[in-house]
Each structure stands twice: as structure tokens, then as C-alpha cells.
Amino acid sequence: MTANMREWRHIFDMRCSKKAHPQMRILMLDCLKGFAKEIPIVFDDLIAKFSGNS
């Protein structure tokens, strides 16, 4: 899958929320952690947003 940073942020925002399917949410939270490790300036706010929603 190819997407720009804005699209990835949108995907993570949808798929990491509590409204997402639980299995998809687990998968995408792991992906988000990987993205935030590589590019923290772009994804750290999403990590903070969803870290309390576990």
C-alpha cells in the first residue's frame, strides 16, 4: 500500500479509534507505533491520542 503522510494519518485516525473493529485496531496500533518510531514529528500526537484508548 502506498500513501502520503496525510493519508496515513487519516488511516490511523480511523483505524486506531475505539469505533474500529478490535482486530483491525490492534494491527493498526502496532503499525502506528512503528511509524512513530521512524517519523516521530509526524505521528507522536496520534500516539498520545490513542495511548489512553487501549
39: Cβ contacts below 8 Å, ≥ 6 apart: 5
Helices (H) and strands (E) in the chain, counts: 3, 0
Percentage of the chain modeled with pLDDT above 70: 96
Its sign, for the CA torsion 13, 47, 3, 28, is: negative
Structure pTM?
0.88
- The residue range of the domain holding 22 is 5-51
- 52 pLDDT band, cuts 50/70/90, is confident
Average pLDDT, rounded, for the chain? 94
The domain total for the chain is: 1
**pLDDT of 9 strictly over 70:** yes
Rounded Cα distance, 50 and 42, in Å: 15
Which pLDDT value is given to residue 51?
A: 86
Helix, strand or coil for residue 21? coil
